[in-house]
Structure 1
Amino acid sequence: MKIKNIILGALVLSLWNAEVLAQKISTPKSHFGFSIGDDYQLANYQQMESYFIKVAKESDRVLIQESGLTEEGRKQYLLMISSPDNLAHIDKYRTISQTLGRAEGLTDEAARKLAKEGKPIVWIDGGMHSNEMVGSHQLIETLYLLASSESQEIKNYLDKVIILMWHVNPDGQDLMADWYMQYINKDKRNMSIPRLYQKYVGHDNNRDFYMFNMKEASNLAKVMYVDWLPQIVYNHHQTSPAGTIVAGPPYRDPFNYVYDPLLVTGIDGVGFAMINRLNEEDKPGYVRMDQSTFSTWWNGGLRTAPYFHNMIGILTETTGNPTPSEIKLVPERLIPRNGLPNPIHPQKWHFNQSIDYSVSMNMGILDYAARNGDKLLYNFYKMGKNSIDRGNKDYWTMSPKHIEEMKEAYQDDISTKKQKITNSVKTRFTTIPSLYFDSILRRPENRDPRVYILPADQSDFGTAVKFANALIKSGIYVYQATQDFNHNGKKYPKKSLIIKTNQAFRPQVIDMFEAQDHPHDTQYEGGPPIRPYDAAGWTLAMQMGVSYDRSYEDVEGPLQRLPYGEMIAITSNVLPNSKGGYLINAKANDAFIVVNKLINIGEKVYRDGNSKNFYVDGRLKDKLKKASDGLELRIDVAAKKPVNLIEVKSLKIGLFDHYGGSMPSGWTRWILEQYGFEYTCFYPQDIDNGSIESYDILLFIGQGIPGRNDELTKFRQPDVDLVPQEYKHLLGQVSIEKSIPALKKYIDNGGKILTVGSSSELVYHFNLAVTDPLAVTEKDGKHTPLSSAEYYIPTSILQANLDVSLAENYGLDSSINVVFNNSPVFKLENRKDLYAIGSFQTEKPLLSGWAHGQQYLKDGSVGLVALLGKGKLFAFGPEITNRAQSHGTFKLLFNQLYN
């Protein structure tokens, strides 16, 4: 459907006359009752939504389109802003952007012609993190300026650029603004909300932009990667480093090796335009490059994910709040340098100043786009065309492991006298014979794959489909086999999925399948490592436990290319009658959905003690079919009823949370709901007052248990007097003195506790016969972790081994990929009442990312089970529920949620 047919307030071109030229646009003050940027004033989303709709009706420069619902049911809108003439031909310009971005079937000459005909598309968003109110409120001021200004500058931008504006998190805007404004006394206004500002994930909503679990992320993906394909994406955040106003581009090293060079230099060009704009307007305090913390390495953020789609992603972190603040004195930031060419002096700071900076940076980007529109569009095509070409031939992506392999080969040849030393003086950059380029770097096995094949007969094809659908949401096209086919001597069944790399968004394809190899830089030779800015490794196929084959040649066969943006269709299961009953494949995560649906309607489900699959009686055929419809799940007919059956019964689940909200707990809430597990949240006070006794199992995911050196957990606690009575039961800390004995009593009486990540400190509070290989215990008993110079593993993917004979590991393979983020590991001797579920068996378990000191993990257990009194403790070190992405380890949670 064309955009002009679905907008609110359709544009009527016949009214384009002198009266329209003089149209009156409602000011923000007339609508909200205050000027945007006034101290102590915030607008909620309901007010912003009505203003967006009002301006779209009043202005011939603005179109508005409904673009999906949030997790709490609010509407998200896409605002399209440009000149009336451009908006009258909006579908033409959108199609040009799509055509150039996908780069299929175009010659360079045709692309240049389209680039001159088109208009660059600039995306500007705000409101991602709801306590960062600068980002949401600059949208209001920018919209008004673009809709109302008669300046030649603004008209030039509108004539030459199409602007897309997007509010990222409407739910959080309402929650946070309403909370702040509820206090009549301005001095008491605060942002200490009682729960996460996105229903499930809070701040982690900016970690969901390759998985698209949340509705808001899926809505954005449809607009950005399927419908529009903007050339510049500007993602507003706050706050800046101390003593500065803005942190922005260009960013520090490293950038990801799969990017096209045009992307990196494109970021630089936009960044220079932004800082120049601020300097022209006498707005100091912009920090960048080595003076900031941000790199362009990781995937998954709203700013960073576009990089893997050849889009120039811009992040700024701008200081400021509705409550006036202060720019503090940082002596080192008073002297100009390349990373901070225009320092700012300490001073009082007001909300409107931050809004002004944000609007100025928006204008700087629009100015750049207006001056360089044809270049932005053509380079967008050029990056996509380069990707297609690389996917059609042998291509090698360089990474640190290849460089080290080459240098080691050269050193080996020197030691065996096959080569002579070519440099008499050792420098940082030394030369070696060119023959190593071809003999090492151009080895056939180091090539990038041209095709990835996901066989339909893998044990959990349903998860493979979820993985492929995440790719489709991000604008990747996927093929599906319409019949069985053969490739490289292997037979692949019908419905197998094929992802080719000869497409414009090839960087995204490679990044989702192949390991990330983050450089292991040091602060100086032999010095401590330079830590990654964020996640170091995230390879989604590895996290999800998907099975796939690489092919270095194109795949031909009975393949159907699925339309852009359309999810893979799931065919209904066909179940014949069966007197022997049915076996549900327990290796598939979706089996738990079916099991829970049946249990929740009162039907009995069993586990076959031999095959470990789930079993249901043949008389449940119709109910089983209804429960499994819409799922890619294997259900087999049993020849006869298995003899070794154990009934599966749900446990009453308590999930730990705290005031302000826990993101790991929130992700787990979402997972439990997707798979049909019923749960209730409990809080620190519930532990101390005995309310936990009503649960069969308690889940502590992430933070929840104090460290060995701490008396209490360290959850942020607001001023109790400012918290309404209805939320006071959420307050409190978990204490060693009172809470830990209560948990011990609970487990002695027959309860179960499951911990993940840092909450596994409970192992040591219970004084189990377990030691920590990543820490030293001092004479005074204090627990001292290894220093970061010795050991540090940010979010990365490691390989571990499991004991699959254990019930805790049913449905899993003996080799497993785990998401690891400085996670706990354990050393213990197996016995009947205390045993490990699996371990790291090598000194180099790293698969994807960065791991400094990984040798310390060897023989360390990734999880353990302790039988205590009448109950049981399950402790898992790695992040088995990581941001609802690590499907490959979900069963380590699910298996424990039945008796």
Structure 2
Amino acid sequence: MIRVLRSVTVVLLLSSRLAQAQTLPSPKEHFGFNIGDNYQLATYTQTEAYFKKLAASDRTKLVDIGPTEEGRRQFMMIVSSPANLKKLDRYKEISQKLARAENLTDEQARALAEEGKAIVWIDGGLHATETVGTHQLIETAWQLVSRKDPETMRILDQVVILLTHANPDGQEIVTNWYMREPKPEKRSLENLPKLYQKYVGHDNNRDFFIMNMKESQNIGRQLFVEWIPQIMYNHHQRGPAGSVLAGPPYRDPFNYVFDPMMVTGIDALGAAMYNRLNAENKPGFTRLNGASFSTWYNGGLRTTTHFHNMIGLLTEIIGGPTPEDVPLVPQRLIPNGATPSPVTPQKWTFKQSIDYSLSLNYAVLDYAARHRDELLFNIYHMGKNAIDHGSHDYWTLSPKRVDAINQAYRNDQRKLTSNEAPNSANTAASDPMGWSNRNAGIHVKYYDSVMRAPALRDPRGYIISADQPDFPTTVGFINALIKTGLVVHKATADFSVAGKKYPAGSYVIKTNQSFRPHLLDMFEPQDHPNDFQYPGGPPIRPYDAAGWTLAYQMGVRFDRLLDDFNGPFQRIPYGELQSPKGEVKAASSVAGYVLTPRSNYSFTAANDLLKAGVDVFRVSGGTATKGGVEPGAFFVPAGAKAKSVLDKSAADLGLEITGVAQRPATLTKVAPMRIALWDTYGGSMPSGWVRWLMEQYHFPIQVIYPQDIDAGDLRKKYDVIVFVTRAIPPVGGQDNNERGFGGREPKAEETPAEYRPWLGKITADKSIPQLKQFMEAGGSVVTIGSSTNLAYHLGLPVKNALVEMTNTGQTRPLPSEKYYIPGSILRVNVDSTNQAAWGMPAQSDVYFDASPVFKLAPDAIASGKVKPLAWFATDKPLRSGWAWGQSYLQDGVAAFVAPVGSGKLYAFGPEITFRAQAHSTFKFLFNQLYTNSGPRALASDTE
């Protein structure tokens, strides 16, 4: 009887699974077309519905990982064998344990690696106009769910696959735009009217060490806290002209904090990927210097995983729903180490790109299946190395260390007579590879003088005191670390380290943890090499930024400890975000409340007070000494409504608000400005970041377009207009407006009526006169980055500081062989007594990306025509990144304010709002966003 029941059960299960398989629709059955058909794209609405149908398979589990910025749901589909899906929690636990490498022996790690399954992340659609990424994800899901060949079954048995949609909103926007044209041959991805991510468009791939956007937060939690996969594969496009795709391994430089096994792991996966393409007669894969992609930068979806010991993969492929041509690029027809199998010119279809992507996915998954235990053990081994390096004295090699070794040698050479000098140094200089003399080199003592110098050791940890100028922003930095899976401790009591006292509530981050590369990258300066095409030649542009140290960008004050230390430290659970505790400190009788101008969130509280109808003032005098009220502080007269709003601000924002018994002597009443923010057809990413910032800090804004400016009467509508970089063109130059990634601006008749008001550009003949009239009538204009060109249009007494004189007596911009500063962090001096810089320290770190620098006319300051706000006081302002020829910056003005009629122009050369990361310079913008009625007494003021 039991046998009969078992047989019946087996038959029923088999019948159930067969019926289930028959009900799973193919893409053609669901969408009405095959994935890869020309002129066909799926919307996210359709894709979500399809994934929900595939979720009926016993090979899948569909997980909602959170909301998007537009309110859709973001999904991750987990695919594996039915048996593995029943043990997902265990396999996730094993992946976490091995990646974190805490309290494990090698034997225990090997046992876990043997038990576990390889975890592989594959995403698509981050950049929504790169339509191959989204659609290969759909096709891959279908293939893994429906195929029964031995390779697929082996993959399902050995691998847990995380198929993650990276940008649902973007797929909906892009597909609707493309498919709006009824005639297929007329469909185009060009001229998308807005960004394909609500705020930041393409910059959604520059958000992964701070995770401002909701999609980044959703993805980051899965990558760095929940699953910590050994391999992640990030699909992009497009490949370099003349090739089909660019992929791993990538060109130098790679970041010096990496474990070498991560780098060689990329090599191994890259070999598996291009070998498979070659075996399938799919040419056109290029790598290394065949493309621009490197592993230097942190912050991208793929690149941030590198700093977590994951093998992060990127491919950039050609193709799209509209057929195209592989162009003829003769130099790419010669096989070489970068492109072993060139592709010939030909017509290229969407289906070919989907097929290539599927092959690449299967190459990665097959490698993971065959090397499952090795991948699991290797990520543990890298984590263990990191813990070991953070537990002992360790010195990280980098260009500045090599320069120091060479300098130590040169110093000694100067002390020697010419006949005493060894020849090995000359040999080393002329033959750096050491091929001509196997004994070439210099004495090891020079290595020891640098790489064993106690003061040059890597830190054992960092202490972030709770006594910060802007503690709520500092907690935001702590949360960025926690969101990326780092171990953070919090002091439960006051303590002392190395003779310095710290209060309870301070944060401690030690470097003896598995994600040490990422931790160092957030605190330590990046030391980008001097990377030139040839000696004396032009520089090679970094893939993205050269320096980005987040602690510097956010203005966090920290102590860097070179020796181990302990104290009353409580470990924060992985992924548990922190909330600063604020309070309103007040005696029984107060005249009002003071909010420090040093905290960015004081501006949020002030905006909430103004919205509630509460009077708000700023202290225009005073002192910053202990017990004094510093200039720029917000003062709020006592009252029931004010107290209610302030209590909420203290609780929600973590602000410490102080009640004072006497009103400050010199006060200026403020009111919210009518703020306009420039944007353009196609969307400006810097403008989108500022729009997001304005929402976060509760500033009311209105987005305007060039047509709004050209229409005039600006002063009747606005008090201040903000122009981010690439809005104002140069004098006499070509239009420099940023466009989205969809191409040139379309003609009005080709544009849907709802988007036509967004068309246009800032011009010298129409727009600049209107802006001048606006300022002359009392309005303010804030310009950032290249939009400081407006100063030249207005004829202000400023010049470009970064020029040289030619033999003909003409000036020209400094050539890149002499001066080149890609995205890096520099130090400036600040006039913090000026209202425009209230709350800023006397020195500040700024994000600088080939930014404008000014030289003032001799009488400009004395006559009051220009007031410098920030300037370069030294010839070595570099803090993090790469600054070739930085001495040219000395005494250059980075920011200034100038009167224009009754109004003002504010010019900020550095990117003061850069990607919503540069918190330390947000106040350069925030201070300009209030009107004032001048000094006034408060005796008659009521709430």
TM-score if structure 2 supplies the norm length?
A: 0.92
**Helix, strand or coil for the counterpart of 1:110?**
helix
Q: Assess, with a 3 A threshold, how the Cα gap between structure 1 residues 14 and 756 changes in structure 2: closer, same or farther.
A: farther
**Helix, strand or coil for the counterpart of 1:866?**
strand
Amino acid in the other structure paired with 1:760:
T
Q: For residue 63 of structure 2, what is the aligned residue in structure 1?
A: 65
Amino acid in the other structure paired with 1:234:
Y
Please tell me whether residue 708 in structure 1 is matched to residue 705 in structure 2.
no
Please tell me whether residue 570 in structure 1 is matched to residue 574 in structure 2.
no
* Alpha-carbon distance between aligned partners in 1 of 2:686 and 2:188, rounded to the nearest angstrom: 24
Deviation digits for residues 237-266 of structure 1 (CA, Å, limit 9, x no counterpart):
000000110100010111101010110000
Deviation digits for residues 128-153 of structure 1 (CA, Å, limit 9, x no counterpart):
00110000000010000000001111
Q: For residue 9 of structure 1, what is the aligned residue in structure 2?
A: none
Amino acid in the other structure paired with 1:830:
I
Q: Shift of residue 691 of structure 1?
A: 5.3
**Helix, strand or coil for the counterpart of 2:672?**
coil
Question: Which of 601, 609, 631 is matched with 1:590 structurally?
Answer: 601
Q: For residue 6 of structure 2, what is the aligned residue in structure 1?
A: none
Q: Shift of residue 14 of structure 1?
A: 11
Aligned residue runs from structure 1 range 634-673, under 5 A = 634-673=656-695
Please tell me whether residue 369 in structure 1 is matched to residue 368 in structure 2.
yes
Aligned residue runs from structure 1 range 114-263, under 5 A = 114-191=112-189, 192-263=191-262
Q: For residue 834 of structure 1, what is the aligned residue in structure 2?
A: 866
* Alpha-carbon distance between aligned partners in 1 of 2:808 and 2:686, rounded to the nearest angstrom: 33
Q: Shift of residue 572 of structure 1?
A: 4.7
Aligned residues of 2:244 and 2:317 also touching (Cα < 8 A): yes
* Alpha-carbon distance between aligned partners in 1 of 2:839 and 2:332, rounded to the nearest angstrom: 56
Alignment: residue pair count: 887
Amino acid in the other structure paired with 1:453:
I
Please tell me whether residue 790 in structure 1 is matched to residue 818 in structure 2.
yes
* Alpha-carbon distance between aligned partners in 1 of 2:847 and 2:869, rounded to the nearest angstrom: 16
**Helix, strand or coil for the counterpart of 1:17?**
helix
Q: For residue 483 of structure 2, what is the aligned residue in structure 1?
A: 473
Q: Assess, with a 3 A threshold, how the Cα gap between structure 1 residues 182 and 691 changes in structure 2: closer, same or farther.
A: farther
**Helix, strand or coil for the counterpart of 1:243?**
coil
* Alpha-carbon distance between aligned partners in 2 of 1:581 and 1:81, rounded to the nearest angstrom: 60
* Alpha-carbon distance between aligned partners in 2 of 1:704 and 1:338, rounded to the nearest angstrom: 42
* Alpha-carbon distance between aligned partners in 2 of 1:198 and 1:691, rounded to the nearest angstrom: 32
**Helix, strand or coil for the counterpart of 1:213?**
coil
**Helix, strand or coil for the counterpart of 1:239?**
coil
Q: Shift of residue 783 of structure 1?
A: 7.8
Question: Which of 638, 644, 649 is matched with 1:618 structurally?
Answer: 638
Deviation digits for residues 838-861 of structure 1 (CA, Å, limit 9, x no counterpart):
200111111100011212211111
Q: For residue 436 of structure 2, what is the aligned residue in structure 1?
A: none
| 887-896 or 424-433: bigger deviation | 424-433
Amino acid in the other structure paired with 1:643:
A
Q: For residue 437 of structure 2, what is the aligned residue in structure 1?
A: none
Please tell me whether residue 330 in structure 1 is matched to residue 329 in structure 2.
yes
Deviation digits for residues 817-866 of structure 1 (CA, Å, limit 9, x no counterpart):
00000000111141312111120011111110001121221111111111
**Helix, strand or coil for the counterpart of 1:309?**
coil
* Alpha-carbon distance between aligned partners in 2 of 1:108 and 1:753, rounded to the nearest angstrom: 62
Q: For residue 880 of structure 1, what is the aligned residue in structure 2?
A: 912
* Alignment RMSD (CA, Å): 1.7
Instruction: List gaps (5 residues or longer) in structure 2.
Output: 1-8, 434-439, 623-629, 932-943
Q: Shift of residue 523 of structure 1?
A: 2.3
Q: Assess, with a 3 A threshold, how the Cα gap between structure 1 residues 503 and 742 changes in structure 2: closer, same or farther.
A: same
Q: Assess, with a 3 A threshold, how the Cα gap between structure 1 residues 803 and 103 changes in structure 2: closer, same or farther.
A: same
Q: For residue 520 of structure 1, what is the aligned residue in structure 2?
A: 530
**Helix, strand or coil for the counterpart of 1:655?**
strand
Q: For residue 420 of structure 1, what is the aligned residue in structure 2?
A: 421
* Alpha-carbon distance between aligned partners in 2 of 1:666 and 1:15, rounded to the nearest angstrom: 56
**Helix, strand or coil for the counterpart of 2:381?**
helix
Amino acid in the other structure paired with 1:843:
D
Amino acid in the other structure paired with 2:831:
D
**Helix, strand or coil for the counterpart of 1:412?**
helix
**Helix, strand or coil for the counterpart of 1:288?**
strand
Aligned residues of 1:394 and 1:448 also touching (Cα < 8 A): yes
Q: For residue 347 of structure 1, what is the aligned residue in structure 2?
A: 346
* Alpha-carbon distance between aligned partners in 1 of 2:877 and 2:74, rounded to the nearest angstrom: 43
Question: Which of 914, 924, 935 is matched with 1:892 structurally?
Answer: 924
Q: Shift of residue 750 of structure 1?
A: 1.3
Q: For residue 7 of structure 1, what is the aligned residue in structure 2?
A: none
Aligned residues of 2:584 and 2:656 also touching (Cα < 8 A): no
| 627-636 or 755-764: bigger deviation | 627-636
Aligned residues of 1:61 and 1:87 also touching (Cα < 8 A): yes
Q: Assess, with a 3 A threshold, how the Cα gap between structure 1 residues 563 and 771 changes in structure 2: closer, same or farther.
A: same
Please tell me whether residue 808 in structure 1 is matched to residue 836 in structure 2.
yes
Q: Shift of residue 18 of structure 1?
A: 5.1
Aligned residues of 1:712 and 1:736 also touching (Cα < 8 A): no
Q: For residue 722 of structure 2, what is the aligned residue in structure 1?
A: 699
Amino acid in the other structure paired with 1:475:
G
Deviation digits for residues 22-74 of structure 1 (CA, Å, limit 9, x no counterpart):
622210011001110111100010100010110011x1101011110000000
* Alpha-carbon distance between aligned partners in 2 of 1:237 and 1:698, rounded to the nearest angstrom: 36
Q: Shift of residue 16 of structure 1?
A: 4.5
Aligned residue runs from structure 1 range 423-434, under 5 A = 423=424, 425=427, 426-429=430-433, 431-434=441-444
**Helix, strand or coil for the counterpart of 2:46?**
helix
* Alpha-carbon distance between aligned partners in 1 of 2:496 and 2:887, rounded to the nearest angstrom: 41
Q: Assess, with a 3 A threshold, how the Cα gap between structure 1 residues 77 and 646 changes in structure 2: closer, same or farther.
A: same
Deviation digits for residues 502-522 of structure 1 (CA, Å, limit 9, x no counterpart):
111111110000000001133
Question: Which of 717, 725, 743 is matched with 2:753 structurally?
Answer: 725
Amino acid in the other structure paired with 1:76:
Q
Amino acid in the other structure paired with 2:682:
G
* Alpha-carbon distance between aligned partners in 1 of 2:678 and 2:562, rounded to the nearest angstrom: 47
Amino acid in the other structure paired with 1:500:
K
**Helix, strand or coil for the counterpart of 1:571?**
coil
Aligned residues of 2:472 and 2:580 also touching (Cα < 8 A): no
Aligned residues of 1:578 and 1:618 also touching (Cα < 8 A): no
Q: Assess, with a 3 A threshold, how the Cα gap between structure 1 residues 435 and 51 changes in structure 2: closer, same or farther.
A: same
Amino acid in the other structure paired with 2:895:
G
Aligned residues of 1:422 and 1:432 also touching (Cα < 8 A): no
Aligned residues of 1:654 and 1:692 also touching (Cα < 8 A): no
State the identity as a percent.
Answer: 52
TM-score if structure 1 supplies the norm length?
A: 0.97
**Helix, strand or coil for the counterpart of 2:702?**
strand
Q: Shift of residue 747 of structure 1?
A: 1.1
Aligned residues of 2:319 and 2:350 also touching (Cα < 8 A): yes
Amino acid in the other structure paired with 1:733:
K
Aligned residues of 1:711 and 1:737 also touching (Cα < 8 A): no
Q: Shift of residue 809 of structure 1?
A: 0.9
Q: Assess, with a 3 A threshold, how the Cα gap between structure 1 residues 782 and 72 changes in structure 2: closer, same or farther.
A: farther
Q: Shift of residue 477 of structure 1?
A: 1.5
Aligned residues of 2:523 and 2:552 also touching (Cα < 8 A): yes
Please tell me whether residue 554 in structure 1 is matched to residue 564 in structure 2.
yes
| 567-576 or 724-733: bigger deviation | 567-576
| 779-788 or 48-57: bigger deviation | 779-788
Please tell me whether residue 749 in structure 1 is matched to residue 777 in structure 2.
yes
Aligned residue runs from structure 1 range 261-276, under 5 A = 261-276=260-275
Q: Shift of residue 19 of structure 1?
A: 4.2
Q: Shift of residue 329 of structure 1?
A: 0.3
| 182-191 or 468-477: bigger deviation | 182-191
Q: Shift of residue 780 of structure 1?
A: 12
* Alpha-carbon distance between aligned partners in 1 of 2:296 and 2:668, rounded to the nearest angstrom: 48
| 627-636 or 653-662: bigger deviation | 627-636
Q: Shift of residue 574 of structure 1?
A: 4.5
Q: For residue 17 of structure 1, what is the aligned residue in structure 2?
A: 14
